[in-house]
């Protein structure tokens, strides 16, 4: 992972230093503020999300961390892991500028969604990003898949939503986006 500013490394250090003093709500609010900050790039947001997620899982009782990070999301995490296994075998992910693994979505960490897991590819040179997401807004709502394609740093973004039952169609769209990005 590259392009991490000194400012964000300092924020990561602050988060870690607050491990024993901040409440769950303070970690969620901090993450939400980072997530909406336009001055922080995708790699930096990913680093801070990972740090917040790890602290929430470690510090808070399982009941609370599961409420935020999911137990309810097992199906979604497994589906995204399956998609990840498929596409990482079909495409060369060596130039991915973000971590190549299933990640917890910022909406789930901040409490805006009940479940959000995703994988993404961002070209190191092209700065074009595509993601495959499993989302569920509330525990009572139906989950859905979201596939997006965007140019980082611009407002250009294509997003298509699919019911989970149409995962093969969502996967085909994601493959088409990956084939545009991966050289």
For residue 165, give the 3-state DSSP assignment.
helix
Contact criterion met (CB below 8 Å) for 11 and 33: no
On whether residue 23 sits in a domain, the answer given is yes
Report the pLDDT value the prediction gives residue 19, as an integer from 0 to 100: 85
What integer pLDDT is reported at residue 117 of this predicted model?
Answer: 93
- What single-letter DSSP state applies at residue 117? E
Task: Point out the domain boundary residue: 19, 47, 68.
Answer: 68
Of the two residues 31 and 81, the one the predictor is more confident about is 81
- Let me know if residue 82 belongs to a domain: yes
Q: Identify whether residues 57 and 82 lie together within a single domain.
A: no
Spatial strand order in the sheet of 128-136: 103-104, 115-122, 128-136, 144-151, 157-163
Note whether 124 and 82 are same-domain residues: yes
For 118, the domain range is 71-181
- The pLDDT, as a whole number, for residue 81 is 95
Coil, strand or helix: which one is 119?
strand
Kindly state the average pLDDT of the residues 1-16. 82
- The angle formed by the CA atoms of residues 82, 157 and 70, to the nearest 5 degrees, is 40
What predicted TM-score, i.e. pTM, was given to this entire model? 0.67
Out of 127-131, 134-138, 151-155, which region has the weakest mean confidence (pLDDT)?
A: 151-155
Q: How confident is the model at residue 176 (pLDDT cuts 50, 70, 90)?
A: very high
Domain count, the chain: 2
The domain boundary residue, chosen from 22, 44, 68: 68
Task: Kindly state whether residues 152 and 88 are assigned to the same domain.
Answer: yes
Tens digits of per-residue pLDDT, 89-135? Answer: 999 999 898 888 999 888 887 778 888 999 999 988 887 899 999 99
Task: Determine, yes or no, domain membership for 30.
Answer: yes
In a domain? residue 1 = no
Same domain membership, residue 161 and residue 98: yes
Q: pLDDT of 44-75, one tens digit each?
A: 888 888 788 778 777 765 555 555 554 567 88
Per DSSP, 178 falls in state H
In a domain, 156, yes or no: yes
* Domain shared by 27 and 106, yes or no: no
Confidence of residue 155 (pLDDT cuts 50, 70, 90): confident
Q: What is the mean pLDDT of the chain?
A: 85
H or E segment at 2?
none
Q: Are residues 78 and 168 in the same domain?
A: yes
User: What is residue 144's predicted lDDT score, i.e. its pLDDT?
Assistant: 95
- Say how far apart CA 129 and CA 64 lie, in whole Å: 32
Helical ranges in the chain per DSSP H: 6-17, 24-36, 42-59, 62-69, 74-90, 106-110, 167-181
Say yes or no to pLDDT of 171 above 70: yes
CB atoms within 10 A of CB 151: 12
Q: Are strands 157-163 and 144-151 parallel, antiparallel or unpaired?
A: antiparallel
% residues pLDDT > 90 (the chain): 33
Q: Measuring CA to CA, how many Å separate 166 from each of 19, 24, 79, 148, 177?
A: 41, 35, 12, 16, 17
């Amino acid at each position: 992972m590259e392009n991490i500013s000194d400012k964000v490394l300092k924020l990561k250090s602050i988060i870690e230093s607050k491990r024993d003093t901040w409440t769950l709500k303070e970690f969620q609010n901090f993450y939400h503020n980072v997530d909406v900050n336009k001055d922080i790039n995708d790699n930096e947001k990913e680093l801070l999300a990972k740090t917040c997620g790890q602290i929430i899982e470690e510090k808070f009782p399982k009941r609370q961390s599961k409420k935020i990070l999911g137990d309810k999301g097992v199906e979604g995490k497994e589906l995204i892991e399956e998609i990840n296994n498929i596409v990482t075998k079909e495409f060369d992910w060596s130039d991915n500028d973000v971590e190549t693994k299933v990640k917890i979505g910022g909406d789930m960490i901040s409490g805006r969604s009940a479940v959000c897991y995703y994988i993404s590819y961002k070209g190191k040179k092209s700065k074009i990003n595509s993601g495959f997401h499993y989302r569920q807004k509330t525990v009572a709502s139906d989950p859905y898949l979201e596939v997006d394609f965007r140019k980082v740093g611009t407002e250009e973004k294509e997003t298509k939503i699919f019911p989970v039952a149409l995962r093969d169609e969502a996967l085909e769209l994601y493959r088409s986006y990956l084939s545009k990005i991966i050289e």
